[in-house]
Chains A and B, each alone.
Chain A
Amino acid sequence: MIYDENKREIKLDRELSELDKLVIEFTGILEKHVEYVIISGYVSILLGRSRITEDIDIFIKEMSFEQFSELYQEFEEKGFWCINAEKPESVYDYLKTCKAVRFARKGTSMPNFEIGFPKREIDSETFGDFINVILKGVKLKISSLERHIAFKKYYLETDKDIEDSLHIEEIFKGKVDYEKVNKLRKSIEIIKRDEENGKEKY
């Protein structure tokens, strides 16, 4: 695994799991229609964490219904279905009302891809703060290591998330920008305070 901070790129020579193959296929469809960034658990798994997951979380940039319909059609043609609703109008409505929707291989519900529009400013910033992972000649966009660590450690905070964060911190010792992590931590603390006060709830 070679991480080039300046190029914001990780070169990975891992053998592909069935999950990796599915992610490559799904994001290959996504990127033809919309910008995306993979966030959360799969980022740690892709980079070696020894655990499994039932979903892959992905932010997509906000898009019009027409654009979404084209994406939806291609998902259907390529053998994926949405497990939240049948009609693209209903799926899009969910997305517009800040709800994530899940796609899986037709006939299955797991593993699935949870895609959503960014809800908060800090989520939108992910599109300007990602890393390309080069894997078998394919490019996968994942959130930056600092963003990944900050969200896992200070927002999600479950044992699993803290362990996901620790894995990344251990793998990239000396390469993580902790000033950036702390800056993100401050923004996260504001969000959490607002959520506790009922100002913001997702």
Chain B
Amino acid sequence: MEKKNIKEVEEEKRRLLDSQEFCRNKKEKIGKTPAKLTHPEKREFMKPGKTNREDRINFVKFWANYVRTHSDKEWSRQQNVLIDSQIEHAHNLVRKTVDS
């Protein structure tokens, strides 16, 4: 088995402590224990729905859980990609209309 040096072990310990602190803060803020997020590298998985409708609902719950368990900055950065691209698309449409 690969041996970790002291620096790596310390780094891992710090990340774990950070994530526990983060979870504690989230619990205080929202009043609810975040779902199973005890390590920053532990992934959460979305359960696929049997129908399109169920799949959409599952995604809403999955994303809401992400929002609850991550910092505002983290989730909004992802959300903004979606929103800003729509606005950019709308502006491009106007430019095309004006050009033609």
Could you list which residues of chain A lie within 8 angstroms of chain B, going by C-beta atoms?
1-3, 12-19, 45, 47-52, 107-108, 110-111, 159, 163, 166-167, 170-175
Contact = CB atoms under 8 A, between A and B. Distances in A.
B41 interface: no
Contacts of A51: 82
A52 B82 contact: yes
B31 A17 contact: no
Interface residues of B, number: 34
Interface of B: 29-32, 53, 56-57, 59-61, 63-65, 67-68, 71-73, 75-80, 82-84, 86-88, 90-91, 94, 98
Contact of A172 (B30, B78, B94): B30
Contacts of A16: 76, 80
Nearest to A15: B76
Interface secondary structure of B, over-half rule: helix
18 contacts: A14-B76, A15-B72, A17-B79, A17-B80, A18-B87, A52-B86, A108-B94, A111-B87, A111-B90, A167-B63, A170-B61, A170-B65, A170-B68, A171-B64, A171-B67, A173-B30, A174-B32, A175-B31
Given A15-B76, A18-B87, A110-B90, 5 more contacts: A17-B76, A45-B83, A107-B94, A107-B98, A166-B57
Given A3-B30, A18-B83, A172-B30, A166 B71 contact: no
Given A52-B82, A166-B60, A170-B60, A108 B90 contact: yes
Nearest to A104: B90
A97 to B, nearest CB: 29
Contact of B73 (A14, A50, A52, A170): A14
Contacts of B76: 14-17, 48
B60 A163 contact: yes
A21 to B, nearest CB: 10
Contacts of B90: 108, 110-111
Contacts of A163: 56-57, 60
A108 B68 CA distance: 35
